[in-house]
């Protein structure tokens, strides 16, 4: 009979993908559904970057490369880390993978023994806990509070560290809250970690460039003493609107990076050669488009914030980064839909918005924080306005 490995029991497929499936089903049935559930910018990949990928195909650059990335891409990654973060790595200390996701997954797989713990502050990106479980580790979820700006406090970090702690995951700007740790806040966390030399630091910087005027801080730069046990993860998906190209990269100690390389060499080999060429162009070309993108995102963020403020039962803080609003819907739990159904929890509320307003959002439970929804404002501005009006109308119909 068919039988899966025990390690499969702790993990399901991504809940954001499930929302997307429901959105597709409703769309196929002829409804004009707006998906504010996806963590993906609607902006096209900048043309110069696309041209570099096209040139790679035209020039026949379509074969295997070194597993950890071409020499050109590694040089571009090292230059990026040095230029933007003040982090100096050798070639042996950087690696490109098929998205930040592959590198994060492999980092857990390479380092966790059964029962090793990974500290994951909540709200968290949906994949961290399941990745830890698939690697047979134990996620230790540390709830963060809206009063603390949804940020992990040094005291909460200290309290969560135990003899089996292997990693702490720090994600700034944060998905789903948009919280951005200031340099001082990041320093306070690294001060705690300085006293725990066996704990590795996973810095997920994937939203680095999506910030609204606040500074960026990454642990290895704030605390150089931690650099030899910090894996700094970044990628092109969010900052360059290149989700489908599947290029992420990481910098960290050579022993860890070489283990990531081994895992890639026995699973996927090099990330797409064509995408690597595009990634070199992206990293070398700077981000001349970002100011315009941020202006658009700021306007959209305003639209969502106004909607939340106007809607009885919803509230939220102003996110400083990423492209999400994490809205409190606890006041609407226990209300009834026009069809008489009870809104029992945040999933029930998200389901109602999908069915009644034809707007897809992700329920907070998926991020380890029930009672909230994540609204991604990554669709064109007019569509967003229409979706927001529909959210407002649907909420007003609850009794
Ligand atoms: N980390 C966070 C916090 C994310 O939100 C995402 C994508 O949603 C990723 C990592 C993965 O990005 P990539 O497309 O590079 O695999």
Structural domains in the chain? 6-44+289-396 (3.90.1150.10), 48-284 (3.40.640.10)
Distance CA 304, CA 312 (A): 14
Q: What is the 266 CA–ligand 1 centroid distance (Å)?
A: 22
pLDDT at 9 over 90: no
Ligand 1 atom closest to 236 (CA)? 15
Asked whether residue 16 carries a pLDDT value surpassing 80, the answer given is no
Half-sphere exposure of 193 (CA within 13 A, CB side): 32
Distance, CA of 9 to CA of 24 (rounded, Å):
27
Share of the chain above pLDDT 90, in %: 94
Q: What are the C-alpha distances in Å from 371 to residues 316, 328, 332, 363, 364? A: 12, 6, 9, 8, 6
Mean pLDDT taken over the chain: 96
Residue 224 to residue 298: CA distance in whole angstroms:
33
Ligand 1 neighbourhood includes 125 CB (under 6 angstroms): yes
Atom of ligand 1 nearest to the CA of 98: 16
User: CA triplet 79, 224, 216: central angle to 5 degrees?
Assistant: 65
- Give residue 1's pLDDT: 61
Round to whole Å and give the CA distance between 79 and 119: 30
State which ligand 1 atom lies nearest to the alpha carbon of 16.
8
Alpha-carbon dihedral angle through residues 367, 371, 372, 373, given to the nearest 10 degrees:
80
Q: What is the ipTM of this complex?
A: 0.99
Distance 243 CA to ligand 1 centre (A): 9
Q: Is the pLDDT of residue 252 over 90?
A: yes
Per-residue confidence (pLDDT) for residue 36, from 0 to 100: 95
Please state the rounded mean pLDDT for residues 203-211: 98
Place of tokens 């489908």: 244
Residue 40 has pLDDT above 90, yes or no: yes
Neighbouring-strand partners of residue 97? 248
Residue 277: pLDDT over 80 = yes
Pocket test for ligand 1, best of 107, 121, 127 (most atoms within 8 A of CB): 127
Whether the upstream peptide bond of residue 173 has omega within 30° of 0, thus cis, is yes
The whole-number pLDDT of residue 48 equals: 97
């Amino acid at each position: 009979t068919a039988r899966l490995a025990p390690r499969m029991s702790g993990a399901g497929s991504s809940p954001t993908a499930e929302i997307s499936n429901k959105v597709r089903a409703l769309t196929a049935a002829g409804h004009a559904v707006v998906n504010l559930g996806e963590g993906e910018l609607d902006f096209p990949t900048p043309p110069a970057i696309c041209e570099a990928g096209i040139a790679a195909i035209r020039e026949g650059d379509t074969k295997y490369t070194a597993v950890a990335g071409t020499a050109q891409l590694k040089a571009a990654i090292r230059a990026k880390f040095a230029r933007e973060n003040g982090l100096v790595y050798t070639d042996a200390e950087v690696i490109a993978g098929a998205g930040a996701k592959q590198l994060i997954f492999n980092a857990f797989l390479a380092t966790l023994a059964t029962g090793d713990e990974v500290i994951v502050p909540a709200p968290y990106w949906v994949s961290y806990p399941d990745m830890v479980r698939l690697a047979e580790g134990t996620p230790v979820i540390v709830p963060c509070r809206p009063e603390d700006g949804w940020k992990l406090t040094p005291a909460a970090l200290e309290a969560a560290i135990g003899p089996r702690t292997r990693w702490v995951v720090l994600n700034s700007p944060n998905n789903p809250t948009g919280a951005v740790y200031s340099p001082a806040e990041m320093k306070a966390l690294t001060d705690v970690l300085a006293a725990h030399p066996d704990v590795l630091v996973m810095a997920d910087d994937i939203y680095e460039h999506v910030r609204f005027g606040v500074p960026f801080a990454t642990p290895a730069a704030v605390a150089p003493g931690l650099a030899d046990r910090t894996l700094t993860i970044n990628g092109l998906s969010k900052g360059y609107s290149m989700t489908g190209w599947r290029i992420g990269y990481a910098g960290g100690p050579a022993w860890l990076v070489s283990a990531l390389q081994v895992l890639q060499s026995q699973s996927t080999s090099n990330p797409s050669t064509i995408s690597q060429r595009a990634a070199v162009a992206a990293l070398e070309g700077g981000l001349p488009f970002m100011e315009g993108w941020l202006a658009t995102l700021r306007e959209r963020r305003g639209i969502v914030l106004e909607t939340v403020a106007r809607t009885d039962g919803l509230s939220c803080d102003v996110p400083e980064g990423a492209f999400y609003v994490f809205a409190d819907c606890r006041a609407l739990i226990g209300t009834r839909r026009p069809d008489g159904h009870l809104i029992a929890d945040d999933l029930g509320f998200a389901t109602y918005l999908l069915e009644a307003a034809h707007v897809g959002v992700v329920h907070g439970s998926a991020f380890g924080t029930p009672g909230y929804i994540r609204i991604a404002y990554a669709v064109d501005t007019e569509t967003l306005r229409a979706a927001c009006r529909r959210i407002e109308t649907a909420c007003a119909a609850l009794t």
